[in-house]
């Protein structure tokens, strides 16, 4: 019995996508892999359990041709009351600075990254929290960034 590669990949995606600890996971594709500074993907996360600790991650896909080993991201974090909780500039690493070897999981020339930005975080109140991400590199547009997103996961007890 033969299986096609797309069928195998679909089955694996279904098998591994069902993580009961994931509260929210979404990404936005970057048109033509060119991330303009004015393009600021926004993600709205509904939090119900404030006693639960959460780990928050950036989920990012880039092509092997991405010209830098790092990426500067600005993350605006807004609470349910529309007040800014934080506005943070962060440097994330996509490959080894010396060897150029990509981090993340690769398939062909695409690499997926899951980069933590808040660990064991307790949301102060229930409601909808908004994350807005923008690239803060000197190059505009920034090439070979295919998608960017956010994942919120319950900390396993």
Question: Residue 33 belongs to what domain range?
Answer: 21-154
Task: Judge whether 59 lies within some domain.
Answer: yes
* Dihedral-angle region of residue 138 (phi above 0 means left; psi in -120 to 50 means alpha; beta otherwise): alpha
157 residues of the chain, pLDDT tens digit each: 444 544 444 544 544 555 789 999 999 999 999 999 999 999 999 999 999 999 999 999 999 999 999 999 999 999 999 999 999 999 999 999 999 999 999 989 999 999 999 999 999 999 999 999 999 999 999 999 999 999 999 999 7
Q: How many domains are there within the chain? A: 1
Task: Judge whether 4 lies within some domain.
Answer: no
Task: Judge whether 8 lies within some domain.
Answer: no
Q: What is the pTM of this model?
A: 0.86
Cα–Cα dist 114/12, whole Å: 18
Task: Judge whether 13 lies within some domain.
Answer: no
Task: Judge whether 14 lies within some domain.
Answer: no
DSSP the chain: ----HHHHHHHHHHHHH--TTEEEEEEEEPGGGEE-TT---EEEEEE--SSS-EEEEEEEEEETT-S-SEEEEEEEEE-TTS-EEEEEEEEEESB-TTT--B-SEEETTEEEEEEEEEEEE--SSSEEEEEEEEE--SSSSEETEEEEEEEEEEPP-
Task: Judge whether 12 lies within some domain.
Answer: no
Cα–Cα dist 108/9, whole Å: 14
CATH number at residue 58: 2.60.120.380
| Tokens representing residue 43 in the block | 């993600």
Task: Judge whether 76 lies within some domain.
Answer: yes
Task: Judge whether 1 lies within some domain.
Answer: no
């Amino acid at each position: 019995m033969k299986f096609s590669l797309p069928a195998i990949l679909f089955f694996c995606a279904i098998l591994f996508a069902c993580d009961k600890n994931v509260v929210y996971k979404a990404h936005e594709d970057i048109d033509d892999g060119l991330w303009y500074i004015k393009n600021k993907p926004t993600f709205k996360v509904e939090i119900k359990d404030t006693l639960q600790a959460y780990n928050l991650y950036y989920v990012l896909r880039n092509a092997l041709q991405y010209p830098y080993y790092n990426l500067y991201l600005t993350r605006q974090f807004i609470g349910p009351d529309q007040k800014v909780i934080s506005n943070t500039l962060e440097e994330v690493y996509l490959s080894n600075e010396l060897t150029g070897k990509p981090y993340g999981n690769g398939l062909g020339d695409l690499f997926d990254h899951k980069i933590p930005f808040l660990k064991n975080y307790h949301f102060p109140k229930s409601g909808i929290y908004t994350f807005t991400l923008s690239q803060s590199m000197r190059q505009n547009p920034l090439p070979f960034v295919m998608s960017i997103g956010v994942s919120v996961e319950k900390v396993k007890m």
